A and B are shown apart, each in its own frame.
Chain A
Amino acid sequence: MKDYIRSVLDVVGESPFVPLEAHAKKGVLAVEKLAEAMEAYCAGNQAVLEERTIEIDKLEHDADKLKQKIRAGIPSSVKLPVDKKDLLSFLKQQDSIADFAQAAAYWMNLRPCKTLPEEIKNGFLELMGASLKTTRLYDELAGELYKLLATSFSKEEVKETMTIIPEVEKLEHDVDVLETALLKRIFENEEAIGGAGVCHLIGLVERIGGVADKSASSADRLRTMILKR
């Protein structure tokens, strides 16, 4: 039915922060699935790996759709309590989390893990766990956005948010350390793994580390967005 209304209350636009939080959730969920995919990969369970890859693919696609929606929802006539450019650059980083999860899952599917030494497998599981931890903390941080807006950026709330960000960055640093250690072990086992295998594993380390990297740089952009307001 057509609304016979002379209303002007569309002055209250749709908040981009609601889909922004949903977008963060998609990324984190993709990383959760990636951790399961990693276990399946190390266990040599190709069926589960493929299943998880499809799920991650879908989550990444959902995240992309939300990203488009957010971008389309802020034309020049819409005024936000934060800088629009900051919001968009934050969104871009946040979107990369799911992108890296997807890239890592694809990468695993390229080459099955046949003869990986146990210590390398454990190294990967440890690295994945640390990456997931970083992303989970990031998710918590993204959840703070809601409170920030509800209190209209109260000092207390900003302070609380600002304490989480360095924690995310610290976890990301832990991931960096694990990455280097794992790469070292991969090269130590280069005879057993073979040249192509080494090449493949390096790529995998990079992608899994990338998930944590992007979580940290999203956190960093979030800080800029809040403080520059």
Chain B
Amino acid sequence: MDLLVIALILAGLYMAWNIGANDLANAMGTSVGTGALSLKQVIIIAGVFEFLGAVFFGERVTSTIAKGIVPIDVIGSIHPDIVAIGMLAAILAAGFWVTLTTFYNLPVSTSHSIVGSVLGFGLIAAYNGTIALSDIHWGELTKIVASWFISPALGAVVAYLTFSVIRKLFLHRAKDLPLVERKFISLQLITACYMAFAHGSNDVANAVGPLAAALRVMGVTGLEVPIWVLVMGGLGMVIGMATWGYKVVETIGSKITELTPTRGFSAEFATASVVLLHSYSSLPISTTHTLVGSVIGVGLAGGIAAVDLRVIWRIVSSWIATVPIAALTSALIFVGLEVIFL
């Protein structure tokens, strides 16, 4: 096999591991915090449903990352290796940025990173004259960036409504409040599965999108994203969850004990629904940011004793920083790799 493809697989696996270890763990942490599920249960659920989501519903977003932003077919018809190198540069840049921000506990989204770094490749290709600047799918890119604003807001709205309904139907009529909360524990089992499935369907693209693009232009695969690529991404994320993510789940779970099952259910249901909707619309969004929106929604509905809005500014600044940094790093790595391979 081509050295570039092997490098892409390895980098993709690293990215998948990272996503599993952090983002999946973030998404699942709410179920542990409420005491709904044990750590072991969460890992099993996360593993199974993340994998299913990635394999059976991950293709759309993966296609977006692979060919929705940069016209890889045009570049590929000139020289397939440029695409392979560009995609390798993109995933390395995203992986590097995500690792760095994990080190400094910054809430950076892997989706934003990969979109930024793929864009960086597109820009350097335009700079080199391989494509015209207008060949980059700016319309699609605008839609993606808009979805980064819409998804947390939508999460907030759905969670607000969900919790308001629960409040009216169950909490306000409760004769035995602890019993109501206990009943929601079993419902949380379902939303945890839903959450993992939704996450897998959207985030697998961040790991294997670049690989899918390279395989396509090199003629290894057809127009469809091959299933083994999605399986590989799914496995990588599950391994990340099992080897490192459980620690993250534990830490988060111990910090958000304020989130009772009714609140946790509302936030999870809203997040998973919004994420799945975006997977269906082929838009790569941040599950974690959507979850924050949802938690704020539950808070605004009066469900949480204290909502700290400081996190919004941390998220917004991470948005502003991520795309240009990932794009620039990706372009620089591309220039370096170009010298080696071409």
- By a beta-carbon cutoff of 8 Å, the part of chain A in contact with chain B is 3-18, 73-75, 77-81, 147, 149-156
Contacts and interface: CB of A to CB of B under 8 A. Distances in A.
A75 B300 CA distance: 17
Contacts of A154: 167, 171-174
A9 B26 contact: yes
9 contacts: A5-B251, A7-B29, A7-B107, A7-B252, A7-B288, A8-B289, A9-B33, A75-B310, A79-B306
A14 B306 CA distance: 6
Interface in B263-297: 288-289, 291-292, 295-296
A73 to B, nearest CB: 8
B22 interface: yes
Contact of B107 (A3, A6, A17, A152): A6
Contact of A17 (B174, B259, B295, B305): B305
B303 A152 contact: yes
Interface string B234-269: 000000000010011001100110111000000000
A3 B251 contact: yes
B260 A150 contact: yes
B172 A151 contact: yes
Interface residues of B, number: 54
A6 B251 CA distance: 12
A13 B22 contact: no
Given A4-B105, A11-B292, 14 more contacts: A4-B103, A5-B22, A5-B102, A5-B252, A6-B26, A8-B289, A9-B30, A9-B33, A12-B256, A12-B295, A12-B307, A14-B306, A79-B307, A154-B174
A172 B300 CA distance: 37
Contacts of A155: 172
Given A14-B258, A151-B172, A9 B306 contact: no
Nearest to B164: A152
Contact of B288 (A6, A16, A81, A150): A6
Q: Which 5 A-B pairs have the closest CB atoms?
A: A15-B305, A13-B306, A13-B308, A154-B172, A77-B310
A149 to B, nearest CB: 6
B320 interface: no
A9 B302 contact: no
Given A6-B22, A8-B107, A147-B177, A13 B302 contact: no
Given A6-B101, A9-B255, A12-B259, A152 B302 contact: yes
B342 interface: no
Contact of B106 (A6, A147, A150): A6
Contacts of B79: none
A41 B263 CA distance: 52
B108 interface: yes
B105 A7 contact: yes
B308 A78 contact: yes
Contacts of A79: 299-300, 306-309
Which of B106, B288, B307, B308 counts the most chain A CB atoms within 10 A?
Answer: B308
Contacts of B78: none
B218 interface: no
A79 B310 CA distance: 10
